[in-house]
Amino acid sequence: MEKRILGQTGIEVTELCFGALPMGPLQKNLSIEENSKIIEFALKKGVNFIDTAEMYRTYEPIAMAIKNTGIRPVIASKSNKKTYEGMHAAVTEALEKLDIDYIDIFHLHAAREGANAFEVYSEALKCLVDLKKQDKVKAIGISTHSVAVTRLAAENDLIDIVFPIINMKGLGIIDGSKEEMIEAINKVYSSGKGIYLMKVLAGGSLIGQYTEALKFARDIESYTSIAIGITSIAEAEYNISYFSGQNVPSLAASLPALKKALVFKGLCKSCGKCMTACPNNAISFDRDKKADIDKSICLTCGYCTPVCPEFAIRIV
């Protein structure tokens, strides 16, 4: 599998990045042991890049896979903590739970933030700068759904890597079109920063158009890697085969049905926290003031599930 360098960081990664979100408690909720075996399979097959986050709660299976295989991949994590102390605690937790001395990439987890993102995260960014000086963090990044933030990241000397959303339908993009996001991605690339892409399958909604969706993303050219959420050995094998240049059958025919978000209306207390957490504004109140998810634009990211105090939303 092809490897590339992320911008000017010197960090070499495979084109396929193992996305650890969907296998964790926010979505599939597999056991630590089950998830570890999936990661171990991918590592042994040559995938050397894993994307996770504080909120994904998947540090333990990654640590187990590293221990069981002896393979230390490039690891990217992220946190939406906005204070210096909060970000310091988030990085410390990652290092301890992953059982590593440093983390390769740590992002400001700024999915929903707009053009003021770097103001909102100014203290957290200072913390990451200090941790980079201490060699606890090798590269600083920002994870974003915003065209404006992607453009601004190209001009921010403190940012080494950008992790933007892009897909052929433009789903999940804030304050712009897919064409404008591609222009912003190219700007980041031209500035010498690393780029890897998220949600090219729009949270699974484009899985039936896998080849077309991946071709769209790969045609951008200025990216380094593409994060794909993986929840089984079969999915890992399929993606590895595709990125290794092998002919693959229809993904929709060979793997389980699409994920979907469900609201258990009887549990919903109409607090609205899920609407605030949704990065694509896919949740609103129905006429009974219960949370209602527009499945046509839902990214099945699971960001709504941990904020619901009644556990009324599930990704299945």
Q: What does the alpha-carbon distance between residue 211 and residue 215 come to, in Å, rounded to a whole number? A: 6
Do the Cβ atoms of 48 and 15 come closer than 8 Å?
no
| Residue stretches of the chain with pLDDT short of 70 | 249-259, 310-311, 314-316
Helix, strand, coil percentages (3-state) for the chain, rounded to 5, are 35, 20, 45
The confidence score (pLDDT) of residue 189 equals: 97
How many alpha carbons fall within 13 Å on the CB side of residue 47? 32
Predicted TM-score (pTM) of this structure: 0.86
The confidence score (pLDDT) of residue 298 equals: 84
Query: How far apart, in Å, are the Cα atoms of 106 and each of 32, 98, 141?
Result: 22, 13, 6
Taking the CA atoms of residue 6, residue 9, residue 11 and residue 17 in that order, the dihedral angle to the nearest 10 degrees is: -40
The confidence score (pLDDT) of residue 310 equals: 66
Any idea what DSSP says for residue 151? H
| Residues in the chain, total | 316
Query: How far apart, in Å, are the Cα atoms of 7 and each of 110, 225, 260?
Result: 20, 11, 35
User: What letter represents residue 287's amino acid?
Assistant: R
Number of neighbouring beta carbons within 10 Å of residue 208: 14
pLDDT tens digit string along 187-246?
Answer: 999 999 999 999 999 877 788 889 999 999 999 989 999 999 999 999 999 999 999 998
Query: How far apart, in Å, are the Cα atoms of 199 and each of 21, 90, 226, 280, 299?
Result: 11, 24, 9, 12, 8
Residue with token string 């605690």? 89
Q: What does the alpha-carbon distance between residue 267 and residue 274 come to, in Å, rounded to a whole number? A: 13
Q: What angle do CA 100, 106, 110 make, to 5 degrees?
A: 145
Query: How far apart, in Å, are the Cα atoms of 156 and each of 140, 197, 278?
Result: 11, 19, 26
Map residue 98 onto helix, strand or coil. Answer: helix
CA 268 from centroid of its chain's CA atoms: 27
> The tokens of 193 are what?
């920063």
Give all domains of the chain, ordered by start, each with its CATH number: 3-254 (3.20.20.100), 260-316 (3.30.70.20)
User: If you write DSSP's letter for every residue of 9-73 in order, what string do you get?
Assistant: S--EEESEEEE-STTSTTTT---HHHHHHHHHHHHHTT--EEE--GGGT-HHHHHHHHHHH----
User: What letter represents residue 166's amino acid?
Assistant: I
Do the Cβ atoms of 140 and 125 come closer than 8 Å?
yes
List helix spans (H) across the chain.
32-44, 59-69, 84-98, 117-120, 122-133, 147-155, 178-190, 210-218, 233-243, 251-254, 273-277
